[in-house]
Chain A
Amino acid sequence: MSIIESATVDNGVNVEALLGAREALTAAPPAGQFVFSATNEWISGTHSRTTVDRFFGLGTEQAHRQPYSVETDHPEIFAAADNGPTPPEMMLMGLAGCLTAGVASVAQNRGIQLRSVKATVEGNLDIAGILGIDPEVRNGYSGITVRYEIDADASREEIQAVVAQSQKRSAVYDVITNPTGVVVEVA
Chain B
Amino acid sequence: MNAARTTEVVVIGGGQAGLAMSRCLADRSVDHVVLERGEVANSWTTERWDSLRLLTPNWMSRLPGFTYQGKDPDGYMTAGEVAAHLECYRQSFDAPVRTGVTVTRIVSGESHDDGHRVETTDGPWDAEAVVMATGACSNPHVPAIAADLPDHIEQITPIAYRNPSGVADGRVLVVGASASGLQIADELTRAGRDVVLAVGDHVRLPRTYRGMDIHWWMDVVGLLDERYDEVEDLARARRLPSLQLVGSPERRTLGLDTVQEHGVQLVGRLVGRSGDRAQFSGSLANYCTSADLKQGRLLDQLDEYAAEHGLDTELGPADRPAPTPLGPPVLDMDLRDVGTIVWATGFRPQYPWLDEAHLDARGRLIHDGGVLSVPGMYVLGLPFMRRRKSSFIDGVGPDAVELADHLLAHLHRMATLRPA
Contacts and interface: CB of A to CB of B under 8 A. Distances in A.
A165 B286 CA distance: 9
Contacts of A178: 269, 271-272, 279, 281-283
Interface in B254-285: 268-269, 271-272, 274, 279, 281-283
Interface string B325-354: 000110000000000000000000000000
Nearest to B232: A1
A57 B271 CA distance: 26
Contacts of B279: 178-179
Interface string B284-312: 00100110010011000000000000000
Contacts of B281: 177-178
Chain A interface secondary structure, helix, strand, loop or mixed?
helix
Q: Which of A160, A161, A165, A177 has the most CB of B within 10 A?
A: A177
Contacts of A164: 286, 289-290, 293
A1 B283 CA distance: 26
B289 A160 contact: yes
Contacts of A173: 283
A160 B286 contact: no
Given A143-B328, A143-B329, A173-B283, A179 B289 contact: no
A157 interface: yes
A179 B290 contact: no
Interface string A117-154: 00000000000000000000000000100000000000
B289 A177 contact: no
A176 interface: yes
A180 to B, nearest CB: 9
Interface in A151-187: 157, 160-161, 164-165, 167-168, 173, 176-179
A167 B286 contact: yes
B302 to A, nearest CB: 15
B410 to A, nearest CB: 29
A179 B271 contact: yes
Given A143-B328, A143-B329, A167 B283 contact: yes
Contact of B274 (A157, A177, A179): A179
Interface string B397-413: 00000000000000000
Interface residues of A, number: 14
Nearest to B289: A164
Nearest to A174: B283
B282 A177 contact: yes
Nearest to A141: B282
A168 B283 CA distance: 9
A164 B297 CA distance: 14
A160 to B, nearest CB: 6
Given A143-B329, A178-B272, A179-B274, A160 B283 contact: no
Given A143-B329, A160-B293, A177-B281, A168 B286 contact: yes
Contacts of A177: 268, 281-283
A168 B282 contact: no
A1 B293 CA distance: 19
A176 B272 contact: no
Contacts of A160: 289, 293
A164 B272 CA distance: 23
A168 B290 contact: yes
A173 B283 CA distance: 9
Contact of B293 (A29, A161, A179): A161
Q: Which of B290, B297, B329 has the most CB of A within 10 A?
A: B290
A178 B279 CA distance: 8
A160 B290 CA distance: 9
Nearest to A167: B286
B271 to A, nearest CB: 5
Contacts of B289: 160, 164
A122 to B, nearest CB: 15
Nearest to B290: A164
Contacts of B329: 143
Contacts of B297: 157, 161
B364 to A, nearest CB: 13
A157 B296 CA distance: 8
Contacts of A167: 283, 286
Contacts of B271: 178-179
B273 to A, nearest CB: 9
Contacts of A143: 328-329
Q: Which of B279, B286, B289, B297 has the most CB of A within 10 A?
A: B286
A107 to B, nearest CB: 15
A160 B296 CA distance: 12
Contacts of A165: 290
Nearest to A173: B283
Contacts of B290: 161, 164-165, 168
A178 B286 CA distance: 13
A173 B282 CA distance: 9
Kindly list the 7 A-B residue pairs having the minimum CB-CB distance in the complex, ordered from nearest: A177-B282, A179-B272, A164-B290, A167-B286, A177-B283, A178-B271, A161-B293
Interface of B: 268-269, 271-272, 274, 279, 281-283, 286, 289-290, 293, 296-297, 328-329, 361
7 contacts: A164-B289, A164-B293, A168-B286, A177-B281, A177-B282, A178-B272, A179-B274
Given A164-B286, A179-B272, 10 more contacts: A143-B328, A157-B293, A161-B293, A164-B290, A167-B283, A177-B281, A177-B283, A178-B272, A178-B283, A179-B279
